[in-house]
Chain A
Amino acid sequence: DTGVSQNPRHKITKRGQNVTFRCDPISEHNRLYWYRQTLGQGPEFLTYFQNEAQLEKSRLLSDRFSAERPKGSFSTLEIQRTEQGDSAMYLCASSLASQTRADTQYFGPGTRLTVL
């Protein structure tokens, strides 16, 4: 399978615990995005990387959230001291940025987080 993969697919945790999600993009894609999606809403942008550089972070991304893409390949999203309001689907997408292409993003299946 050469699409975007995310692990784990589901995560249940207790309030106050830390969680980490992983995203493996399509291999030749240089951009990687993280989104959060709650029920009845569209995806909300959190952050994105071009290669290993984190270029943009949403104001939604509080200090408890951190993302890395250490070698410009896979990425991790960590949430520290989880809160019930963090319960959501976390989506990862990747794209190939160039001057002539649409920078179309291809999404992974998501990680569903439930904070008890």
Chain B
Amino acid sequence: AQKITQTQPGMFVQEKEAVTLDCTYDTSDQSYGLFWYKQPSSGEMIFLIYQGSYDEQNATEGRYSLNFQKARKSANLVISASQLGDSAMYFCAMRERSGGSYIPTFGRGTSLIVHP
């Protein structure tokens, strides 16, 4: 079974509007972390935002916020006031314990295109 599911292969948004990128996860651990990364066409993965499983408040970083619904096992990324430079691939990832180590798992990504 997929540990990270991103159901939207591609999303389109008008500049200055908000967009939500979906992510659901599967784990039996109580302690885990959820991350979102951006990968522009240049290829480098850029860290955007982190949410810990015990964090009660949704994480926010500037225009990025994470809509964390623990019972539904979802961690959607909300980008407010989209900019042309937001066009990129977006990956959701989870870090969970495997034995004594933390193993990260990435989803397949969502391609976001921001239209002027």
Which A residues contact B (CB, under 8 angstroms)?
Answer: 33, 35, 40-45, 48, 55-56, 89, 91, 93, 102-110, 112
Contacts and interface: CB of A to CB of B under 8 A. Distances in A.
B56 interface: no
Interface of B: 4, 33, 35, 37, 42-47, 50, 52, 91, 93, 95, 98-109
Give the top 4 A-B pairs by smallest Cβ distance, nearest first.
Answer: A42-B106, A107-B45, A102-B50, A56-B101
A3 to B, nearest CB: 9
Given A40-B108, A42-B93, A42-B108, A105 B101 contact: no
B103 to A, nearest CB: 6
B43 A106 contact: no
Contacts of B107: 42
A65 to B, nearest CB: 17
26 contacts: A33-B104, A35-B106, A40-B108, A42-B93, A42-B109, A43-B45, A44-B106, A45-B103, A45-B104, A55-B100, A55-B101, A56-B98, A93-B45, A102-B35, A102-B50, A102-B52, A103-B95, A103-B102, A104-B50, A105-B47, A105-B104, A106-B47, A107-B44, A107-B45, A110-B44, A112-B43
